[in-house]
Amino acid sequence: EAAVTQSPRSKVAVTGGKVTLSCHQTNNHDYMYWYRQDTGHGLRLIHYSYVADSTEKGDIPDGYKASRPSQENFSLILELASLSQTAVYFCASSLGQNERLFFGHGTKLSVL
């Protein structure tokens, strides 16, 4: 079973502060994704990546940056956190080509 590990599991941040969410996968998957989920709602794609040192914008990239320094690691960066970015963030990885996504356990971010 593919392993995707997110850290931290939860975080409280202050408005205007910088937040970095980390994701690590151990299965040689090429594709990695960041989604946000608002309480009881759907998953919206923020950024994704198909190779190290390259990232692509998803559907809601504003206010977020992504970094893929290696095949295993994919970070999501909030340079200036805002109240509206309070959500649960999920990282996922995939082999691509109609293969399933493997999700991490999520990071609950509260911006105060």
* 46 near another protein (CB under 8 A): no
Task: Give which of 15, 4, 7 is closest to 86, Cα–Cα.
Answer: 15
Residue type, 18: K
Q: Report phi then psi at 47, rounded to 5.
A: -145, 160
Backbone phi and psi for residue 84, each to the nearest 5 degrees, phi listed first: -70, -10
Q: Which stretch binds another protein (CB under 8 A): 7-15, 61-69, 76-84, 102-110?
A: 102-110
Count of residues that interact with another protein, criterion CB under 8 A: 26
Confirm or reject binding of residue 89 to another protein (CB under 8 A).
no
Looking at 21, 33, 85, 87, which residue binds another protein (CB under 8 A)?
33
Number of DSSP helices (H) and strands (E) in the chain, helices first: 0, 11
By the rule CB under 8 A, 64 interacts with another protein: no
* Closest separation in Å from C-beta 22 to another protein: 16
62 binds another protein (CB under 8 A): no
